[in-house]
């Protein structure tokens, strides 16, 4: 395993603990729906292009009655970026060595009244150190209460860590990032997105504290939204709308998503990287 310093180990430990708590919460929802679905965990190793140990991760996927497909992945990788890709990464233009650890989650739901969701947070080290991530809600059938509660949870997380966490700016950043240019539409109803949140020296502790609270906010609000929507009846037309919406979600992740690009460019596990794709979708 690649050697970690104290900050890198602390971040890795947190992301893995958050993964366990989220998966436990999602499995509890499946129990409430009368399902015995559980997460299937698949470890994967990574070899750096240099031939050295490049770390790895664990892909976790569950297919159940409420969660048609949900993936919760953690990874800790390091080595050297190859070629020109290094110049696209903050702090790696002159030195391609890097370290990255994080959690990534995407849930596609069986009931179109239950919004799909994405969440990820990460810690990266090049010649600089920073945190990034966020979460966004992706309802096929938007509901004002769900959207309001989701945004309120992340607004509170940001407000507790002002001034380094600026909710209006992070919300606007999400609206700009989670946009499908060729469709001219938002991917969902937004949330927050942040990147390059400085974690050098004394800046590490406050940046890490905020990143932990992003995870806590997600864990507090999303299961609540799922529980109040998962039992609602839906029509065949509402399911069709969900499947068409999923097609656009897939388009974004394959064409524009930075996380997909980062994973593929750094030799990550393809199945783990593409776990964000829905199990079913249609294009009309």
Active site residues: 118
CA distances from 181 to 170, 177, 190, 257, 260 (A): 20, 10, 15, 12, 17
Among residues 75, 69, 10, the alpha carbon closest in space to that of 40 is found at 69
Cβ–Cβ < 8 Å for 116, 106: yes
The answer to whether residues 219 and 15 touch, using CB atoms and an 8 Å cutoff, is: no
Which of 42, 236, 22, 25 lies closest to 135, judged by CA? 22
CA proximity to 191, closest of 204, 172, 210: 172
Element (H, E) at 251: helix 236-255
Cα torsion for 225, 230, 236, 242, to the nearest 10°? 40
Q: Which helix (H) or strand (E) holds 125?
A: strand 116-125
Q: How far is CA 146 from CA 120, 137, 187, 222, 223, in A?
A: 20, 9, 16, 9, 11
Return d(Cα 5, Cα 234) in angstroms, integer: 50
């Amino acid at each position: 395993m690649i050697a970690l310093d104290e900050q890198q180990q602390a971040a890795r430990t947190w992301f893995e603990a958050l993964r366990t708590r989220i998966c436990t919460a999602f499995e509890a929802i499946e129990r409430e729906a009368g399902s015995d679905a559980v997460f299937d965990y698949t470890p994967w190793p990574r070899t750096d292009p240099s031939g050295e140990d490049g770390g790895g991760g664990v892909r976790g996927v569950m297919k159940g009655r409420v969660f048609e497909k949900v993936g919760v992945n953690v990874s800790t990788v390091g080595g050297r970026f190859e070629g020109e890709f290094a110049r696209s990464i903050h702090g790696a233009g002159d030195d391609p060595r890097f370290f990255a650890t994080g959690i990534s989650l995407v849930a596609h739901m069986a009931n179109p009244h239950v919004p799909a969701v994405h969440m990820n947070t990460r810690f990266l080290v090049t010649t600089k150190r920073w945190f990034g991530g966020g979460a966004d809600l992706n309802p096929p059938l938007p509901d004002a209460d769900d959207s309001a509660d989701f945004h309120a949870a992340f607004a509170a997380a940001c407000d507790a860590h002002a001034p380094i966490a600026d909710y209006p700016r992070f919300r606007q950043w999400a609206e700009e990032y989670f946009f499908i240019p060729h469709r001219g539409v938002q991917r969902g109803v937004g949330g927050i997105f942040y990147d390059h949140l400085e974690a050098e020296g004394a800046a590490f502790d406050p940046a890490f504290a905020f990143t932990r609270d992003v995870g806590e906010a997600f864990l507090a609000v999303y299961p609540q939204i799922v529980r109040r929507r998962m039992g609602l009846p839906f029509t065949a037309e509402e399911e069709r709308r969900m499947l068409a919406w999923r097609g656009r979600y897939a388009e974004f992740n394959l064409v524009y998503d930075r996380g997909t690009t980062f994973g593929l460019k750094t030799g990550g596990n393809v199945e783990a990287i593409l776990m964000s794709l829905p199990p079913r979708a249609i294009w009309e």
